[in-house]
Amino acid sequence: MKAFRRLRRNFEHGVHPAHHKQQTENLPIQRVPFGKDYIMPLGQHIGIPARAIVTAGERVLRGQMIAEPGGFVSTSLHSPVTGTVKEIGDFRGVDGRFAPAIAIEADAFATQQVDAGTSIDWEAMSQEEFIEAVQMAGIVGMGGAAFPAHVKLSVPDGVRIRSLLINGAECEPYLTTDHRLMLERPEALLEGAEIMRQKLGAEEAVIGIEANKPDAIEIVQKHIQPGAPVRVVPLKVKYPQGAEKMMIKSVFDVEVPAGQLPRDVEVNVNNVGTIVAIADYFLRGMPLIERVVTVAGPGVTYPANLIVPLGTPVRDVVQFCGGLKPGTREIVMGGPMMGRPIASLDVPILKGCSGVLVFTEEQTARRREYPCISCGRCLEACPYFLNPSRLARLSKSRMFDEMKAYNVFDCVECGCCTFSCPSNIPIVQLIRTAKDDLSHRKEPDA
């Protein structure tokens, strides 16, 4: 019976990419030494960009707020280093476009210590105060989307959250940041879970971990106090197990309807990294100024799991890992399935960047594209039950408006369709192209 229930811990469709995690899963998290130049883009989270509150030439301390939220769906930024604000101007971002950012030059003689020990009395805080505190700490979803965490926390009246679901699936190949965090800081994870659970008014906290991390499951389970309303749920190894709607289906066997949010099924989903960041802020007074990044892939000399101050250029991170091997062709920010290749090594590490993956010719060679043979593998792979092959064909013939009828905006670009396509059609890129065209559509009169 138990084995049978285990089988249900699953969602429909999805794919099974090779996980390639051996490279870094046993490497302890290291700290990267401080460099010289840091670039903090004002729009590194989803929503309205932050507003800079410092000026060029000003001295800033590590952990000091340098930009305030530009609205409700926005968050603040803190200086990752003690140093001087060099410039507030446009810098190249991950998407290749130039966007406003604060450039900070680190002070080579500063101790770079955060004024620690200022724990915050979170228990006495009201719901509103807590939400504001999370916004002021600059905490966003650390799984990759970088959605401001406080927006998820503020539930409208009449909606109640039954469960806090903590996402430790880390279903993307190569990445091991959440895995290492769970192994090395299970106490912080459980502390953060308790804070979040109480503030959300949830009955229980559930930590979902893919079954290919038995050590993490064991360690987290060992740290749970007897009687605490926290449980660990091992999940089937499958991509995209870590997508929030998929995970809710796997853990609670509830489907979140298209266009609705997890809160509509009384669940709040947060990444392991986000929960640890919450604990770090409320118990240790440390705003979000650094994050764990996996540097891996066949093109990097020494793969590693690193604590990187936000705003560090990728160049410095790769240099710390021994540089690039000859034959490197592509550097991807994020995981190989959903991450984005970067065109310049000067782009900084952002709040939502969980990995820097370096690939060589072998993995990135563009295989010859064949016509769609209507095999239907992408339909069977799509966890959102869309029709990727139809969407790709429409996008190729630039019939973007018709794609709306095929629910193109429900696509989360997880990459299952492209992964499963035997004809090597770049389906996700075609869908992204269409979404970009539809959202930047110019009015004929303008």
Positions touching another protein (CB under 8 A) are 90, 92, 94-98, 329, 340-344, 364, 366, 398, 426, 429-430, 432-433, 436-437, 440, 442, 444-445
* CA gap 403, 395 in Å, rounded: 8
**Nearest CB to another protein, comparing residues 301 and 344:** 344
**Nearest CB to another protein, comparing residues 70 and 426:** 426
Do the strands 65-68 and 51-52 form a parallel or antiparallel pair, or are they unpaired? antiparallel
Contact 189/274 with Cβ under 8 angstroms? no
Q: How far is the CB of 92 from another protein (least distance, A)?
A: 7
Give the CA distances from residue 145 to residues 179, 261, 298, 440, in Å, rounded to whole numbers and listed in that order.
18, 15, 25, 20
The token duo for 341 is 């290749």
**Nearest CB to another protein, comparing residues 284 and 329:** 329
Query: From the centroid of its chain, how far is CA 186?
Result: 19
**Nearest CB to another protein, comparing residues 365 and 375:** 365
**Nearest CB to another protein, comparing residues 279 and 331:** 331
Query: Which residue from 417, 440, 4, 10 is spatially nearest to 253, judged by alpha carbons?
Result: 10
**Nearest CB to another protein, comparing residues 5 and 442:** 442
Q: CA torsion, points 228, 234, 238, 239, in degrees to nearest 10?
A: 10
Contact 428/417 with Cβ under 8 angstroms? yes
* CA gap 14, 292 in Å, rounded: 27
**Contact residues for 384 (Cβ-Cβ < 8 A; gap 6+):** 245, 258, 410, 411, 412
Q: How far is the CB of 50 from another protein (least distance, A)?
A: 21
**Nearest CB to another protein, comparing residues 94 and 161:** 94
Q: How far is the CB of 160 from another protein (least distance, A)?
A: 39
Give the CA distances from residue 195 to residues 198, 201, 204, 277, 328, in Å, rounded to whole numbers and listed in that order.
5, 10, 12, 11, 44
Query: Which residue from 356, 244, 249 is spatially nearest to 297, judged by alpha carbons?
Result: 356
**Nearest CB to another protein, comparing residues 5 and 440:** 440
Contact 178/168 with Cβ under 8 angstroms? yes
Q: How far is the CB of 333 from another protein (least distance, A)?
A: 9
**Nearest CB to another protein, comparing residues 218 and 437:** 437
Q: How far is the CB of 343 from another protein (least distance, A)?
A: 4
**At which residue do the structure tokens 């749920």 appear?**
233
Q: How far is the CB of 437 from another protein (least distance, A)?
A: 6
Contact 50/77 with Cβ under 8 angstroms? yes
